[in-house]
Amino acid sequence: MIRPRQLEPHPAARPCRGGCLRGAVGSASVLALSVGLALLTVALGFQAVGGAAVARHRAGLAADLAALAGALHLAEGATAACARARVVAAENGADLVGCAVVGADLTATVTVVPRGPAALVGRASARARAGPVAR
């Protein structure tokens, strides 16, 4: 009589004994690193957008104050008014890039360099006008 041959189970059907995940060693570390880098990238993006918004508001404030300060000195002449506007803009962390006097109105244009990652985007600028109220 012929004896049937003993069949061995397929390797995938064998029960695991301490070595089934040998090929996956370190994959959780790679996944955790990838998630961490993705979160860091998103955080830097939010910081850049927030920094740009803060710079825009700083520029607006500096332009308003420079225009008001310059308008207070219009009686001394346009040169003195623009010089005062430049000083006030610098005290507020901005550069006065334009100063125009038309009649009794002074228009100040300033720029501000954002801090942090937003500095890669460029400068924020703002313009403000000050003078007597028209009736």
Residue 32: the pLDDT is 92
- Cβ proximity of 93 and 58 under 8 Å: yes
- Ranges of beta strands (E only) in 75-115 are 95-102, 105-112
Listing DSSP states for 10-72 in one string gives PGGGSPP-S-TTGGGTTHHHHHHHHHHHHHHHHHHHHHHHHHHHHHHHHHHHHHHHHHHHHHH
Grade residue 22 by pLDDT with cuts at 50, 70 and 90. low
Residue 4 has what pLDDT? 72
pLDDT in tens, 78-124: 999 999 999 999 999 999 999 999 988 999 999 999 988 888 888 99
What average pLDDT does the segment 12-39 reach? 77
Question: Has this prediction a pTM greater than 0.75?
Answer: no
Distance CA 133, CA 47 (A): 39
Q: What is the pLDDT of residue 122?
A: 86
pLDDT exceeds 70 at position 34: yes
User: What are the boundaries of each domain within the chain?
Assistant: 32-130
Helix axes 27-72, 78-91, angle to 10 degrees: 150
What mean pLDDT is predicted for residues 67-81? 93
Region 18-30: mean pLDDT is 71
Q: Which residue has the higher pLDDT, 132 or 7?
A: 132
